[in-house]
Structure 1
């Protein structure tokens, strides 16, 4: 039996082992979205204003925390590189991230499984926060949102979700395509166009041009880049499937 995962084409007589409805998300994605919604409701509606502010300050990421000796601070510096990714600044922010999480988290979870997905979330959140801190050292502003993690999921999906021969993602069995090596992945026209458009969008945001309304004024484009780079470059560490032979 070959060790390569099955690859199906539109002209093949073979069929995938099962058909997945487009909106049938893996349980891990459903739980992730429900967790983000629950924390947002707690933050904005269920807690008194003073308690809500304290919650955000204790869970949001801020580069200024790492300027001073860590031993002289509370322990927020320890968990905020992860917990900021669970908070959101408004319904628009939450809805936007929830849609992208469903779109790109679904193929990644189907590919790597729930356990690896949890570890991927943790490490990609840290990677996104690290680049944000490096480029905004000592900044007292607060960073919240799952965008860095979602960017990492996008980067990871670029390594396998688009057929090597070109074309778009197939929601039924796109997670079964072999992983494309870094040395050849940009020969895939779909991947190249997607990455260029994604980078252009973040460049525009970084220059201060609003793309999606008022919420874009505070977007941490650098955290997006850190997350995407982590997902794109490190996805092979999480992928149980072999890469495509060169």
Structure 2
């Protein structure tokens, strides 16, 4: 029997986990639909009901729905964006740092980190506004959730690959990267440098009014809140999702 030639296997151009593509797809679908279907009044109502408005915490009676939307807006604000540039930046950021977290912890792990990071960002933003001259803000964008994925990735992406040996052949086998302790993250020069740079950049945004004399409409406090949440979450995920971890 003649050998049948086999077509070479094709590798995907972007090896991005499905859950990351779904999150990106949802964000783009929401933004495009709102852009095409809603006028200024409709867009305002969308943000009133689904963006996170810290003022509801103390002045809920002044808003449509009162304080009730606080039950979901801590999460749903992550799927709304100011404009296409805002969305594009968060999309790229999500692909870069969400991919390693998705490969390691799977769909459930990504959703836990992303959604809790968005919530943590909203909480920290609310606390920060209590000490701000401008005590009103409408929080929207995936930055808090993506910051959380960035923080989670810091726990393992700079760690060396653990190598074991096959029980039958004795050949070396890559077992993946271990999860670093919090102390280990800051002891590792690469992860420490990244975190210092990342935090410094966000603090620079926060001090922009004093440096440039003009405010910058970026929720840097939400970034930091999400990042810290993400930095802590792998300690919990490792206990409940070891079977889903991938190198």
1:62 aligns to 2:58 (yes or no): no
Query: Where does residue 116 of structure 2 map in the other structure?
Result: 123
Contact 1:164/1:188, CA 8 A, preserved across alignment: no
SS in 1 for 2:153: helix
Count residues with an aligned counterpart.
210
Task: Give, in whole Å, the separation in 2 of the partners of 1:159 and 1:105.
Answer: 13
| 1:199/1:20 CA distance change after superposition, 3 Å | farther
Q: 1:193 aligned to 2:184? A: no
Contact 2:144–2:227 under 8 Å retained in 1 = yes
Trace 1:34-53 onto structure 2 (pairs within 5 A).
34-53=25-44
Per-residue deviation, 1:112: 0.6
Per the TM alignment, residue 39 of structure 1 is displaced from its structure 2 partner at its CA by 0.6
TM-score (norm 1): 0.78
| TM superposition shift of 1:188 | 1.0
Deviation at 1:92, TM superposition (A): 0.7
Q: Deviations over 1:62-98 (max 9, x none)?
A: 110001368x825212111111111100111000000
Q: CA deviation at 1:115?
A: 1.6
> Highest relative contact order (Cα 8 Å, sep 6+), 1 or 2?
1
In structure 1, runs of 5+ residues without a counterpart are: 1-18, 166-173
Give me the whole-angstrom Cα distance separating, in 2, the residues matched to 1:233 and 1:115.
16
TM-score (norm 2): 0.78
> Aligned equivalents of 1:183 and 1:74: distance in 2?
39
Alignment of 1:1-246 (within 5 A): 23-68=14-59, 73=66, 75-137=68-130, 139-164=135-160, 176-208=176-208, 217-239=216-238, 240-241=241-242
Q: Secondary structure at the match of 1:184?
A: helix
CA gap 1:103/1:175 in 2 versus in 1, 3 angstroms: farther
Higher strand share: 2
Specify the structure having the higher radius of gyration (Cα): 2
For residues 216 and 42 of structure 2, what CA distance do their matches in structure 1 show? 26
**Structure 2: any 5+ residue segments left out of the alignment?**
1-9, 162-173
Measured after TM superposition, the shift of residue 116 of structure 1 is 2.3
Q: What root-mean-square deviation, in Å, do the aligned CA atoms of Structure 1 and Structure 2 show?
A: 2.6
> Using the alignment, how far apart are the partners of 1:226 and 1:143 within structure 2?
13
Query: How far apart are 1:224 and its partner, in Å?
Result: 0.5
Answer whether contact 1:59 1:84 (CA < 8 A) is retained: yes
Matched-pair contact (CA < 8 Å) for 2:56–2:67? no
